[in-house]
């Protein structure tokens, strides 16, 4: 059996008197997508900040490749191969694709004080990396990042993380602000990262997106893992209900859809 790349063992996190995470045990293996689901305030952001060195656990352990590790800073986590991509791709709208791909580690040509940014090489590498991940519509490295669609921007950020050797890819709501087609591109690239053997932690509110790529699911409720299951073990309705803390969201959804079907697509009036 493959060993997990990253594991949390009994992690707790408090901010002063406020206990935010309780006894979190989770692991993710190479080539696996772990979906972290949970309602607003469930503790997802705090958990990914612990995995990426922004916060330290109050107690409990983080392991990489079976060895205890600590990530005192985000840089240490990044050097260990943990890469976080945030909702809007974390890229720079006024930079070109090539420049933003290499920001901080720009390839240069020339010598000593005469070194200059090697625009052509940066563009070629960036475009190839994105195309290799299956996003073939990006072909001009001089294009500004700000002109890309949300899905393309996410894809660029993911391709960048993969190119620079990420082993664990944490995707924080990558599809939240995207339309169906754009979300499909991002989900495709998540699958490609998985195929390359990365461990992916995919944070989302959207059960359908989670089900499209997830191998393993954890539902957080009020800072604790309320359910931990594998692909195929629960239906979409069961997962939706779990995320809502047991309230019957799935039947409410079905009721609304039924009303709209019988009223020419009009939603029911809001409850008084």
Ligand X SMILES: Nc1ncnc2c1ncn2[C@@H]1O[C@H](COP(=O)(O)OP(=O)(O)OP(=O)(O)O)[C@@H](O)[C@H]1O
Q: Which residues bind ligand X (CB under 6 A)?
A: 15, 18, 20, 38, 40-46
Rg (CA), the chain: 21
In whole angstroms, the minimum distance from the beta carbon of 225 to ligand X comes to 13
Of 45 and 58, which CB lies nearer to ligand X in the complex structure? 45
Give CA–CA dist 10/22, Å, rounded: 8
In whole angstroms, the minimum distance from the beta carbon of 109 to ligand X comes to 43
In whole angstroms, the minimum distance from the beta carbon of 202 to ligand X comes to 14
- Any idea which residue has 């299951």 for tokens? 229
Of 16 and 113, which CB lies nearer to ligand X in the complex structure? 16
CA atoms within 13 A on the CB side of 22: 10
Of 41 and 93, which CB lies nearer to ligand X in the complex structure? 41
Joined together, the tokens standing for residue 230 give: 């594998």
Contacts of 197 (CB under 8 A, 6+ apart): 30, 31
Q: Which residues pair with 34 in a beta bridge?
A: 201, 216
Contacts of 51 (CB under 8 A, 6+ apart): 6, 8, 62, 71, 77, 82, 168, 170, 201
Of 126 and 239, which CB lies nearer to ligand X in the complex structure? 239
Of 21 and 148, which CB lies nearer to ligand X in the complex structure? 21
In whole angstroms, the minimum distance from the beta carbon of 247 to ligand X comes to 17
Rounded (10°) angle between helices 150-163 and 119-132: 100
In whole angstroms, the minimum distance from the beta carbon of 56 to ligand X comes to 12
Of 130 and 220, which CB lies nearer to ligand X in the complex structure? 220
Count other Cβ atoms within 10 Å, centred on residue 112. Answer: 5
In whole angstroms, the minimum distance from the beta carbon of 209 to ligand X comes to 15
Contacts of 94 (CB under 8 A, 6+ apart): 144, 145, 146
Of 39 and 238, which CB lies nearer to ligand X in the complex structure? 39
In whole angstroms, the minimum distance from the beta carbon of 47 to ligand X comes to 7
Give CA–CA dist 147/95, Å, rounded: 10
Within the chain, residue ranges assigned H as helices are 44-51, 74-79, 97-101, 119-132, 150-163, 180-195, 207-213, 236-243, 249-262
């Amino acid at each position: 059996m493959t060993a997990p790349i990253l594991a949390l063992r009994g992690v707790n996190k408090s901010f002063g008197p406020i206990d935010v995470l309780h006894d979190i045990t989770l692991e993710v293996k190479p080539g696996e997508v772990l979906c972290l689901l949970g309602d607003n305030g469930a503790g997802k952001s705090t958990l990914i900040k612990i995995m990426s060195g922004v916060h330290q656990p109050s107690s409990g352990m983080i392991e990489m490749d079976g060895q205890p590790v600590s990530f005192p800073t985000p840089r240490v986590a990044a050097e260990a191969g943990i890469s976080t991509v945030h909702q809007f791709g974390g890229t720079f709208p006024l930079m070109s694709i090539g420049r933003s791909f290499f920001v901080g580690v720009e390839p240069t040509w020339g010598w000593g004080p005469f070194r200059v940014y090697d625009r052509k090489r940066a563009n070629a590498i960036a475009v190839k990396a994105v195309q290799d991940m299956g996003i073939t519509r990006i072909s001009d490295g001089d294009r500004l990042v700000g002109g890309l669609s949300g899905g393309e921007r996410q894809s660029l950020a993911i391709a960048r993380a993969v190119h620079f050797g990420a082993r664990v890819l944490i995707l924080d709501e990558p599809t939240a602000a995207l339309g169906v087609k754009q979300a499909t591109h991002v989900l495709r690239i998540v699958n490609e990262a998985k195929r390359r053997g990365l461990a992916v932690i995919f944070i989302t509110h959207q059960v359908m997106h989670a089900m499209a790529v997830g191998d393993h699911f954890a539902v957080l409720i009020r800072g604790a893992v309320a359910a931990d299951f594998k692909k195929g073990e629960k239906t979409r309705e069961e997962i939706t209900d779990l995320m809502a803390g047991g309230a019957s969201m799935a039947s409410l959804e079905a009721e609304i859809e039924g009303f709209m079907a019988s009223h020419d697509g009009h939603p029911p009036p809001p409850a008084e």
